[in-house]
Chain A
Amino acid sequence: MIFFNKVTKIYPAHFTKKETVVLEDISFKIDKGEFVSIVGRSGAGKTTLFRIILGEERPTEGSVFFDGQDIHKIPFTRFHKTRRRIGTIFQDYKLLSSKTVYENVAYAMEVTGTKDEEIERDVPELLETVGLLEKASHFPYQLSGGEQQRTAIARALIHQPDVILADEPTGDLDPYHARDVMNILLRINEGGTTVVLATHNKETVNDLCKRVITLKDGRIANDCEKGKFIL
């Protein structure tokens, strides 16, 4: 499903800053239906790795394949079609501030051209699942952190993507809401969706007992099935 082939990402020197090597010679493969945790300290390169998958960054060297296609060779005008197959949950939620909870979630379906009837049927159903139906008409600034994160999760799931990229989805949440979010991700994975979770939360990773890729100083330090958070 996702294949990193000797990927190196270097941010060039900039004024007083020296050249920064964020990822170095990274190679791994994630199969369809897998649940993979990418762990590492802050600044280990987890977010950059996601940004490369989403086409926001280009690798300095190497290539990244999504379903057999080199992501960075897909023309810009067609790239949105690849992004529609990926649902992304960001640590800072990245909700559209001028849209309500309902509209934020529906937006992911609307851009794909889904029929209005389907949107009107699926969005309330999913909002009920994540416990936000009553707040459907609220704007993001009217929600708590946990509610915003659940909105972001609903948005990432609504169009049934092949892959979920979750970047520190529990980072700003209390343990109760964090467990909620992890349960949702596990349920999605059980349904066959590939989940890639980036986190530095040790307990979360150890509780999962799933594959863990450990990044250290931009390199893969460890990649093991049913792994633990070891740094």
Chain B
Amino acid sequence: MTNPFTSLKRVLIFGWKNFSREIGLSLVSIFVLVVTISLITSLFLIRGLSEEAISEVEDKADMTIDFEGIVSEERIMELEGEISEKFDIDKTDYISREEAKERFVESFGDRPVVMEALDEVGNPFPASLNIKAGDPDTYRAISEFANDSYPELIYGIDFYGRQAVVEGIFSITETLRSAGIIVSSLLALIAVLLVFNTVKLAIYGMKEEIRVMGLVGSSSMFIQGSFVTQGVITGIVSALLSFIVFLVALMLVPYTYMEVNVYKHLLESMPFVLIMQLSVGVILGVVSSVVAARKYLG
């Protein structure tokens, strides 16, 4: 009766010997795997960063409703209540005429000419309501609702002024998201196929050995076991090398990009990246080894 631990120990030793003695082939496989893992890692990180940049841009979008000078605060609060009820609103900020003037004075108090002009005209600032919606797509609807329901209150809605820009940004970010998914998937697929073919070629070179192992009385599991071990070792070495590539890249990237703290983002992603790289490396190494070796076991 075969002792499973003895068999396991031997399979692991054979796998290690295959790896170390066929070092030329192993290095080729490692190189291709490192390229693949690094590519998948960068696709993942770039996606994460662009998501963050997109959210950053989306966060900046808001709308301001300016009210006629004679409108009472109660009416404005009434409109604010209705908007909050009807739409998904993150935050509203009411600025009274007095507050608006105070803010202006805070900003331009050190310019006597401006202050003199202000004294002459009194308080030209309208009361306003600043709205930040949960879903940036709702600004147009909010604006239409305010104009239709409370036309007598509205002096102007600032959303229209920035409408083209905001909608343009949303359209670009949506396109970027879809294109990113398609391009990433395609690149990942090409990389995976490249790994499969490299490992397949490496094992093709051993097809006669696989046949002889079978003729000597080795079970398929025993033969495949050594290739699985080889795949695991190749995967782990490749993942660790890819992680080093990632660390080097971390030192080279700009600290911030499009107001996103790239360094912080990458640093926070480190444990996940290592786990992801190990998983990708080991899974690709094992699956491609098993699939390629299986072909010659029949």
- Chain B's closest residue to A97 (CB) is B209
Show 6 residue pairs from A and B whose CB-CB distance is below 8 angstroms, ordered by the A residue.
A81-B217, A108-B216, A108-B217, A111-B213, A111-B219, A113-B3
Residues of A within 8 A of B (CB): 54, 56, 76-77, 80-81, 83-84, 86, 88, 94-99, 107-108, 110-113, 115-116, 155, 159
- Chain B's closest residue to A83 (CB) is B217
Give the contacts of B1-48 with A (CB-CB under 8 A).
1-3, 6-7, 10, 17-18, 21-22
Given contacts A84-B217, A116-B6, contact A111 B209 (CB under 8 A): no
CB distance from B21 to the nearest CB of A (A): 5
Cβ 8 A contact of B21, one of A84, A86, A98: A98
Contact across chains for A98 and B22 when beta carbons are under 8 A apart: yes
Q: Does B212 contact A (CB under 8 A)?
A: yes
Contact across chains for A83 and B214 when beta carbons are under 8 A apart: yes
Q: A96-B209, A98-B209 are in contact. List 11 more A-B contacts (CB 8 A).
A: A76-B220, A80-B219, A81-B217, A86-B217, A94-B212, A95-B212, A98-B17, A98-B206, A111-B213, A111-B222, A116-B6
List, in ascending order, chain B residues with CB within 8 A of A115's CB: 6
Query: Most chain-A CB neighbours within 10 Å: which of B17, B215, B217, B218?
Result: B217
Contact across chains for B6 and A159 when beta carbons are under 8 A apart: no
Contact across chains for A80 and B7 when beta carbons are under 8 A apart: no
Given contacts A98-B17, A98-B21, A116-B6, contact A111 B212 (CB under 8 A): no
Distance, CA A123 to CA B86, complexed state (A): 85
Distance, CA A129 to CA B215, complexed state (A): 23
Contact across chains for B21 and A159 when beta carbons are under 8 A apart: no
Give the contacts of B198-223 with A (CB-CB under 8 A).
206, 208-209, 212-220, 222
CB distance from A184 to the nearest CB of B (A): 18
Distance, CA A108 to CA B7, complexed state (A): 13
List, in ascending order, chain A residues with CB within 8 A of B209's CB: 96-98
Contact across chains for B216 and A155 when beta carbons are under 8 A apart: yes
Cβ 8 A contact of B218, one of A95, A97, A111: A111
Contact across chains for A107 and B216 when beta carbons are under 8 A apart: yes
List, in ascending order, chain B residues with CB within 8 A of A96's CB: 209, 212-213
